Structure 1
């Protein structure tokens, strides 16, 4: 069965389709064409273990191109992709070390201090600003107040459009000029690009690449021994900023949204944070949040050669979409799958193809461990410093925009200082 893509905006419709068809159904996307949507981990495993000449790992990420650029890591495949991952992975994993944990704790405390006391407010915007600040420091060494101020507004304007429904429509109509004829988007993108290229130029003139991630990329050479171009450098910077903002900041917003509506889990996390000797439960909260409310809505692949999947022969050009929330709610993998139960992760770690908030295969997000460290640290600092309660009794709805799922009310909470 093929259904128009507009209908998948309703989570109930998606659940109904999966209940009728099993873990796979067909649909049609404007600007993309035929696609299949998956929620069966066995089928997902087949896709992600297929040879690279059969299943393309990068083409489906083209929807991110308006922000990350045509040479962002998610848009590359083959030797170029492997080379950049080899360069970028060690420093990103190293940044999940004790030194950065301490820096993240200071940042989290600053966010706590910005929260109004005793009145409902939206926490998600503060978390997004904080994660943008953190990734700018890691990537480009932007750590002074004046520098952060220069970057904040251009990035805010760009991501305000990148998060909108408008970009989804315009991307679908890109062949008819939907993206090319969008002055507001191009002004915001150009402002961000000028900042990045100015920093690259400043470092080249001074001969000081720096010890941050941009510096490592500037010292790298491609397979021919040539430096990476300024455009490749720009696209990696924007890829990291976009990733941190989407997964980490939105994941944290969902963590707090879930915790304030599950007081037993919040009390257990607070007790662990107060004790200060371990992070087992904070990590479990992070795992469970990313399972039950994955910030990234979909993971995609494109068929290159005819491919048999679930008894269906997929033609070249077919897009395969893994619906992460439906995948993470499989009752065969998770008893009572819609319930928020961090305890299910005590003594175990996610594995296999039933938990994929950071994607999978060769295109797994490079910052996965960094993101988990930041989430865990923010959770512990907040619960040590304040008590949190919900601003409303009902769960916040899932708001789907572009490729992300975020809390429909921006995680509205009430904060009170602890003595």
Structure 2
């Protein structure tokens, strides 16, 4: 049965028009939100088929939400002045994780300043250090994964990505409480398996939050307890680092060196919010991307064989890089990037948007647009061989002023895990049927968590020259 109630013809050619004339499904907003959460790809594609490359949704109770998927619209949105479009409140569903003082919540000058301050922790010497560690961490992680039985690989991949972010945040100065902190973060992130993770608890009254916490199956009470535990452990890790006086190029060291114009340092809350942002946004997405890659490779023997040849030769990783780019095109873990709130009247693609409107660029719809990518549903890494992904046609990391800080690290992680898996294992799947997408808060991941079997390929006699790279 179709999940839309209004199958109008697609929108006609662009003309200067108020956004209020953009069409969309007429179902109640709560129903639209549930459909989007349960069918994150199917629902959006049916909306595009019905209404065209821009359409309206009602999933935000007090705002008009307009989905954009035309590359020209997205380019104009990314190039809009910082004062015209804000992203801070677009992270509202994640506020319960991130807080309201970190980079994800800031706009205009505050965002630009904080972004420049944090950048040294993800580039230069810090990036080189992280890259060196990622290779070894991938070898250790993959070696520990189960063999010869069907397992959901996503939890194992997610644990790896959390360890990588530990390296980014703390560097070689691992907190003495890291094992406890890891467990607290892991337990917090379990809320993302529930639709209740989308509830904006910070906009509720204390009484309303208490009522929800009293309903134990919702998982919110357990979440808030886990969050309090994680917050206390982060504070302990920060205090330990400050007492040690150890310097470094890791994110915590960089943040401890930040001072405002009046000479004051970042507060404990600000440090906590930036650290937690990294452990949530920097792990869920990368884990999803790696799982999608494993999913596709088990159903693409020719591509898998070509990757194996390249990895065994150890000369370069052009095809591996193209494969990661293609996976992120076809299955972007963030299918829709952070919404932009219109702060000043703005015209994009001949449409006038007013203050309070929300603009939502859909990477998934953009990436599966046949006008942009011929045969968009075909897994074809060759699309990106010798071709740099376009800034306005390939947006798995967002774009414009708020492009993901850790994009290069995510690519490194993906390549390292795929390289190690393919070097040491044969992949097989119990069911040839493709795994559908499901939502984890704002991310998209294989519904069954990449259920695969890993078998040792040491006996196959292939070379392992890539290990020395």
Asked if the contact 2:147/2:455 (under 8 Å) is kept, the reply is yes
2:408 to 349, 355, 369: 369
- Change in Cα spacing, 1:417 to 1:146, as seen in structure 2 (3 Å) is farther
Structure 1 gap segments, 5+ residues each: none
Further displaced range: 138-147 or 287-296: 138-147
Partner of 2:462: none
Partner of 2:98: 68
Q: CA deviation at 1:152?
A: 2.3
- Change in Cα spacing, 1:144 to 1:52, as seen in structure 2 (3 Å) is closer
Q: CA deviation at 1:210?
A: 4.7
1:8 to 26, 32, 36: 36
The reply on whether 1:131 has 2:161 as its aligned counterpart is yes
Further displaced range: 15-24 or 362-371: 15-24
* CA distance in structure 2 between the partners assigned to 1:314 and 1:49 by the alignment: 15
> RMSD over aligned Cα, in angstroms?
2.1
* CA distance in structure 1 between the partners assigned to 2:156 and 2:175 by the alignment: 16
Q: CA deviation at 1:55?
A: 1.4
Partner of 1:296: 334
1:280 to 287, 304, 318: 318
Partner of 1:251: 289
* CA distance in structure 2 between the partners assigned to 1:209 and 1:163 by the alignment: 38
Further displaced range: 284-293 or 245-254: 245-254
* CA distance in structure 2 between the partners assigned to 1:176 and 1:46 by the alignment: 38
The reply on whether 1:51 has 2:90 as its aligned counterpart is no
Asked if the contact 1:24/1:36 (under 8 Å) is kept, the reply is yes
Asked if the contact 2:125/2:249 (under 8 Å) is kept, the reply is no
* CA distance in structure 2 between the partners assigned to 1:311 and 1:97 by the alignment: 41
Residues 221-240 of structure 1 correspond to what in structure 2 (within 5 A)?
A: 221-240=259-278
Asked if the contact 1:31/1:173 (under 8 Å) is kept, the reply is no
Deviations 1:356-398 (A, max 9, x none): 1111111111101111111111111111111112231111010
The reply on whether 1:266 has 2:304 as its aligned counterpart is yes
Asked if the contact 2:24/2:51 (under 8 Å) is kept, the reply is no
Aligned length: 418
Partner of 1:340: 379
Structure 2 gap segments, 5+ residues each: 1-22, 214-220, 459-469
2:365 to 322, 326, 336: 326
* CA distance in structure 2 between the partners assigned to 1:302 and 1:134 by the alignment: 32
- Change in Cα spacing, 1:54 to 1:212, as seen in structure 2 (3 Å) is closer
- Change in Cα spacing, 1:71 to 1:241, as seen in structure 2 (3 Å) is same
Deviations 1:233-281 (A, max 9, x none): 1111111111221221111111111111111111111111111121111
Q: CA deviation at 1:227?
A: 0.9
Partner of 2:7: none
Deviations 1:137-186 (A, max 9, x none): 22024776974421222111111114421111x22894355556533221
Further displaced range: 303-312 or 123-132: 303-312
The reply on whether 1:386 has 2:422 as its aligned counterpart is no
- Change in Cα spacing, 1:206 to 1:415, as seen in structure 2 (3 Å) is closer
* CA distance in structure 1 between the partners assigned to 2:232 and 2:325 by the alignment: 37
- Change in Cα spacing, 1:226 to 1:99, as seen in structure 2 (3 Å) is closer
* CA distance in structure 2 between the partners assigned to 1:306 and 1:101 by the alignment: 43
The reply on whether 1:360 has 2:431 as its aligned counterpart is no
Partner of 1:175: 204
Q: CA deviation at 1:101?
A: 3.0
Q: SS at 2:58's partner residue?
A: strand
* CA distance in structure 2 between the partners assigned to 1:24 and 1:234 by the alignment: 37
* CA distance in structure 2 between the partners assigned to 1:379 and 1:95 by the alignment: 24
Deviations 1:24-72 (A, max 9, x none): 1111124443211111111111212122222113221232211111012
Asked if the contact 1:164/1:401 (under 8 Å) is kept, the reply is yes
Asked if the contact 1:32/1:172 (under 8 Å) is kept, the reply is no
Further displaced range: 173-182 or 62-71: 173-182
TM-score (norm 2): 0.84
- Change in Cα spacing, 1:324 to 1:243, as seen in structure 2 (3 Å) is same
Deviations 1:181-222 (A, max 9, x none): 533221111111111111122233344455421011101112
Asked if the contact 2:296/2:379 (under 8 Å) is kept, the reply is yes
Partner of 2:235: 197
Q: SS at 1:298's partner residue?
A: coil
Asked if the contact 2:66/2:358 (under 8 Å) is kept, the reply is yes
* CA distance in structure 2 between the partners assigned to 1:263 and 1:83 by the alignment: 47
TM-score (norm 1): 0.93
Q: CA deviation at 1:286?
A: 0.8
Further displaced range: 384-393 or 181-190: 181-190
Asked if the contact 2:185/2:279 (under 8 Å) is kept, the reply is no
